[in-house]
Amino acid sequence: MQPAPSANGLISDYTSWHSLTNKKFYSRHIAPSTGARQLPEIKALAELFKLPVDVEPKTDRNSLFFMFFAQWLTDSVLRTDMTDRRKNTSNHEVDLCQIYGLTESVTRKLRQPGSGKLKARKIGGEEYPDLLYTTDAQGNLMVKKEYEELTEFITAQDNFLSKISNGAERKKDLYVTGLENGNSSVGYIAYTTLFLRQHNKICDELVTAYQYDPAWNASDPDYFNERIFQTARLINIAILLKLTLEEYINHISGRSNFKLDCSFSETQSWYRPNWIAVEFNLLYRWHSMVPDTITFNNSSTWDYRFNNALFEQQGLDSVITDLSSQPAGKIGLQNTPAFLWQAEEFSLKMARDFRLRSYNDYREQFQLKRLTGFEELSNDKNLTGALSRIYNGDINALEFLPGLFAQEANDGKLFGDLLIHMISYDAITQIFTNPLLSRNIFTADTLSTKGMEIINSISSFQSLAERNSTGGKVTATFFVSAPPKKSQQPLQPSPLQSGSLRADEAFTLREVNNAE
């Protein structure tokens, strides 16, 4: 694996102290290309990403539950600053900022006073995130007083809702969450709600375990509640790190190779504080996974964006189960739905703006053999023929993104070998360099004996969902099971405003919205 830190970044074409220390700028795996290049038109390339009209999307073993996790997870770290795309607003850590926020001031707003818990509403005995809005004496919507200082979050919600024809009606149901995209879809909010419930459940268990322990100083409520919150937060993040590695990455690789073993990483050459690379941002443009419609409780709808009323109507267990039973689109070329075609063009342009090197150069960087012909990418002769024509038969001219998504998967994996290597490298280095997993921190002394017991008891998203279920049957899996039957009556469809881009459900929601 590559040593860290990288000598390359987006600040300049050469290494400087600024480029080695300023994490507001993305890192990069390889120095940029130099000299003039004869590259094909972006629109011609983008055509290769499109799902042909009247053709059913290709699917594989990924469920929509997998798709939404990939989006929810990456949204917390792949945070491009749209005022300067070289920059980001990321903490560069898997830290559950989806429920805790990116800053301490936001975290304080999300916490329940007088306890270690996060704010939540109870509906039928089930916890849901707190509402952002309330009504005044005249029935007018107004931001709750305790959230008035969350101006960036409030502005982002207004911007998102302006793209939906009935956005004004959805405003009253908006949740307050750690990230501005927290209300973006039913699938996204399902994960946020699951981990919010998990935090509050951990708090209850810690209180039960340590309220009479002198070391926890329960006689001082402020100290005790603060320690409960902070310890529950660490435990919750550790659970996410474990499941990301042992279920998400193993699902992608098609094997069960990865375990949460903290004993080896600190001696590795890549063991440095994590720093997101621009290539990691771009390789996660999985637009071809996004469906036109989703089925909930045997009724099909495409109105799953900014629809918290639908989420509460279905309930967390039902939403997770329905998402687990439906296939996501297959990741690759010729499978992106029409409403995301513009997003593909945007990604290709971003890769060129940052002068990413060729597909073969990235293969070499990740210790894979360079390809000698387009036919090595795929058995689809029509696809490889089209790529060969666009790049004038020169495999070394093939760009990073088209090559990445053209390569065929084999041996039970989801992707071709380069995409697998890059995802595994970035995910593993990001997980194992998390300070929480250092050998002197990932212990019962820090996380408590009860905390380690909780972490060890959760081995999958299935066990996490069952632990936070209200008692009904729930299925949580990244593998597709039998799809539910679709009824003829959709669930309250609501058209978007004319001309708006249905890209808020993409993995690049922030960037795509800005590109409209």
Mean pLDDT by 10 residues, the chain (516 residues): 79 88 92 89 95 92 97 94 93 96 98 98 96 94 97 96 88 98 97 99 98 95 98 98 95 85 86 91 95 90 92 97 96 94 95 96 97 97 97 97 95 90 89 94 98 98 96 92 42 31 34 38
Per-residue model confidence (pLDDT) at position 180: 96
Q: C-alpha 198: how far from its chain's center?
A: 18
Alpha-carbon distance 308 to 193, whole Å? Answer: 11
**Helix pair angle (186-210, 221-243), 10° resolution:** 130
Please give the model's pTM, rounded to 2 decimal places: 0.91
What stretches of 317-366 adopt beta strand conformation (E)? 327-329
Instruction: List the structure tokens of 153.
Output: 């979050």
Q: What is the DSSP annotation of 62-125?
A: EEHHHHHHHHHHHHTT--B-TTSTTBB---SS---HHHH-SSHHHHHHHBPTTSSSBPEEEETT
Topology, domain 17-515: Myeloperoxidase, subunit C (1.10.640)
DSSP structural state of residue 267:
G
Cα angle 101-104-107, degrees, rounded to a multiple of 5: 45
List the domain boundaries for the chain: 17-515
SS3 call for 479: strand
